[in-house]
Structure 1
Amino acid sequence: MLKSSLIISTYNWSEALDLVLKSALLQSELPNEIIIADDGSTDETKTLIASYTKKSKIPIIHIWHKDKGFKKAEILNKAIAKAQGQYIIQVDGDCIMHRNFVKDHISFSSKGQYLHGSRVNIQKYYLETLFKNRQVDFKFYSKGIKKRTRAMYIPFLSNFYKKKENFSSKYRGCNTSFFKSDFLTINGYNERFEGWGREDSELAIRFHNLGLFARRLRFKGIVFHIYHPEKSKNRLELNNSIEQKTIKDKSIKTEKGINQYL
């Protein structure tokens, strides 16, 4: 049976991470382990994770490094280096998972491809209710969401979405999965990326350069993204240039990647 590792990236938002972890432990099919990639959060996050570790039936591993600014690529490499699963399922610490999220990713896993799923937005006005009720169950008709057609759970329709050769603009690193072996082949995330933007899409582009296909999980594999103000984009122009070079050179393997932690 395929062993899976659920990777959750987070930074200093324990209130949101609480709901994400709650949704993780309510999965219809649990992963073999949960690894939290913590980009330098304070002790509040550490305390929350410890409380979940005590009550979880599966291992919860907290990978932390000192806060050095937005270093998501680096902390994800460190976390995935520790993963025992053959299959990596990745979400952000502000994305509540549908109860069949893990099951859906595993059911569509296949050699020679990676997966990416849909993201439903939870609106700003609903946050007080969300956190007060610690809500993790959402449906198509639920209050507080927009782009609600993405919340329609109809697994049968997912079969009509076939694998594709080209990178999709719908790809989001907050809802993706891949074989760890493929991730290692391309040396993981490019740690030249600092600050918000493009570390996830550049990874997927190198998957394609390796020869992988992409398959979209539509109508299944859903996450519900909790509203937050946009992060600083002061490094976006530089990050764009790194990604464009990957496209131009058809790069497969990054020089500064996961190999540092193996």
Structure 2
Amino acid sequence: MEQKNIRTSVLISTYNWPEALKRSVGGMLSQTVMPGEIVIADDGSGPGTAAVIDSLRAESPVPIIHVWQEDRGFRKSMILNKAIARMTGDYVLQIDGDVIPSRHFVSDHLELAERGFFVCGSRVRLSPEVTRRVLSDEHFRPTLFNMPLSFAANSLRSRLLRHWMATRYGRRIDHLRGCNMAFWRDDLIRVNGFNEDLTQWGHEDGEIAFRLHFAGVGKKSLKMGGCVYHLYHPEASRSGEQRHLDELERVKQGRISRCDNGIDKYLKQ
């Protein structure tokens, strides 16, 4: 499918880290191929985040939509659904607000966009020192020389290898990172979006990937292109992880393709 025929919406989730969000959205505004719109899913951030978004709107050539909900604890799945419901694009490129997309992120993802597939991309985890430099100097860019060697390969680009690896690498369904994924919006709606019964950290990405799989949507991996640079931060609490793992296992065992508590309540009738 020709890239020009796909209207893209970038989905960025965030919570109370406006400095990182500024760099994340800034990376989207420096793409070699621009998305159609940027939709920010804000799980209850304070006024600092809104101020950053307003300043970014002033320089953005594409619409930036801020979808906010009150802070009532971790409700990422809910705010993602609300944001997807507001989108106008056909293809959703999902990242987190603590990653910076590489310059060819959109272009490389669109190369692999194909009906009947969702796509999982790669990340490069930055060290605390490089993260500090990224946040303090807007002109500083991560390079092969300042990133951990174990992640360096994820930042390489090769069109030939990108296409060759698409259906050969990472074939396990939950071999993925929610900070770098792409979906057809109507596929997300078909499985009723993210599962809002998952109200703690983790595995909402793997859970929806399995539901898409059971709905007949294939998986591709985006390697050798389209990576994101993950800013360092302390790990989130995993105190409620087992509840999510139990739900994931229920989906796998029951081959469930649609969740009950999802996006449908936000869609226009």
TM-score, with length taken from structure 2: 0.93
1:129 corresponds, among 130, 133, 150, to: 133
Q: Is the 8 A contact 1:98 1:138 kept in 2?
A: no
Instruction: Tell me the CA shift for residue 43 of structure 1.
Output: 0.2
Gaps of 5+ in 2: none
Instruction: Tell me the CA shift for residue 169 of structure 1.
Output: 4.1
Instruction: Tell me the CA shift for residue 109 of structure 1.
Output: 0.3
Residue in 1 that maps onto 2:145: 142
1:92-103 equivalent positions in 2, closer than 5 A: 92-103=96-107
Instruction: Tell me the CA shift for residue 154 of structure 1.
Output: 1.9
Q: Is the 8 A contact 2:112 2:166 kept in 1?
A: no
Q: Secondary structure at the match of 1:138?
A: coil
Q: Secondary structure at the match of 1:62?
A: strand
Structure 1 position 70 matched with structure 2 position 68:
no
Cα distance, 1:45–1:239 mapped onto 2, change above 3 Å: same
Residue in 1 that maps onto 2:201: 196
2:158 corresponds, among 135, 154, 162, to: 154
Residue in 2 that maps onto 1:176: 181
Instruction: Tell me the CA shift for residue 166 of structure 1.
Output: 5.3
Partner Cα distance (1:215, 1:137) in 2? 28
Residue in 1 that maps onto 2:16: 12
Residue in 2 that maps onto 1:60: 64
2:193 maps to amino acid: G
Q: Secondary structure at the match of 2:182?
A: strand
Partner Cα distance (1:4, 1:142) in 2? 32
2:230 maps to amino acid: H
Gaps of 5+ in 1: none
Cα distance, 1:238–1:136 mapped onto 2, change above 3 Å: farther
Q: Secondary structure at the match of 2:119?
A: strand
Q: Is the 8 A contact 2:166 2:222 kept in 1?
A: no
Q: Secondary structure at the match of 1:63?
A: strand
When structure 1 is superposed on structure 2, of 121-130 and 200-209 the one drifting more is: 121-130
Cα distance, 1:204–1:71 mapped onto 2, change above 3 Å: same
Residue in 2 that maps onto 1:84: 88
Q: Secondary structure at the match of 1:142?
A: helix
Partner Cα distance (2:221, 2:152) in 1? 17
Q: Is the 8 A contact 1:22 1:136 kept in 2?
A: no
Q: Percent identity?
A: 35
Cα distance, 1:103–1:162 mapped onto 2, change above 3 Å: closer
Residue in 1 that maps onto 2:260: 255
1:198-217 equivalent positions in 2, closer than 5 A: 198-217=203-222
1:245 maps to amino acid: R
Cα distance, 1:237–1:35 mapped onto 2, change above 3 Å: same
Cα distance, 1:162–1:24 mapped onto 2, change above 3 Å: closer
1:51 maps to amino acid: S
Deviation readout 1:81-139 (Å, 9 max, x if unpaired): 00000000000001100001011111210011100111101111222222121256333
2:109 corresponds, among 105, 108, 111, to: 105
Q: Secondary structure at the match of 1:99?
A: coil
Q: Is the 8 A contact 1:97 1:136 kept in 2?
A: no
1:103 maps to amino acid: S
Deviation readout 1:165-220 (Å, 9 max, x if unpaired): 95444311110001001001000000000110111110000010011111100001
Partner Cα distance (1:52, 1:145) in 2? 30
Partner Cα distance (1:136, 1:240) in 2? 38
1:124 maps to amino acid: P
Deviation readout 1:206-251 (Å, 9 max, x if unpaired): 0100111111000011100001000011110111101110001100
Q: Is the 8 A contact 2:200 2:240 kept in 1?
A: yes
Instruction: Tell me the CA shift for residue 17 of structure 1.
Output: 0.6
